[in-house]
């Protein structure tokens, strides 16, 4: 996925859970859950691009966002448990780019 598409998707995701009322209150630390089909090492380049896109929008990991990564390690049957884990963590949004990840996130969020 090229950086322009990733940043565009990210902008939509961020805008979906940022509300005008938040500006008047203390800044909420938003939690993003990410379901990744591969391993930690295979996802590093994409994670760096994702974090860079967030920074360009004013979101800095550890300051105003927390990112929870979950890795399926190439095993699609792991997605349901990983998605359920992110729901238990009460993330604001789940991001994934694979069909099994989308289906698991959809089922976990009801």
**Distance of CA 106 to CAs 9, 17, 28, 76, 89, Å?**
18, 17, 25, 15, 16
Whether the pLDDT of residue 13 is over 60: the answer is: no
**How confident is the model over 33-84, as pLDDT tens digits?**
999 999 988 888 889 999 999 999 999 999 999 999 999 999 999 999 999 9
Contacts of 110 (CB under 8 A, 6+ apart): none
Q: Place domain 29-108 in its CATH homologous superfamily.
A: Response regulator (3.40.50.2300)
pTM for the complete prediction? 0.74
Give kind and range of the element (H or E) at residue 12.
helix 3-17
For the chain, domain boundaries: 29-108
């Amino acid at each position: 996925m090229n950086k322009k598409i990733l940043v565009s998707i990210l902008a939509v995701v961020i805008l979906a859970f940022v509300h005008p009322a938040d500006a008047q209150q203390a800044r909420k630390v938003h939690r993003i859950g990410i379901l990744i089909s591969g391993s930690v090492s295979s996802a590093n380049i994409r994670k760096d691009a994702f974090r860079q896109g967030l920074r360009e929008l004013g979101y800095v990991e550890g300051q105003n966002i927390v990112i929870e990564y979950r890795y399926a390690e190439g095993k699609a049957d792991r997605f349901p448990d990983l998605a359920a884990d992110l729901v238990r963590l009460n993330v604001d949004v789940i991001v994934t780019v694979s069909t099994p990840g989308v289906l698991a996130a959809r089922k976990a969020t009801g």
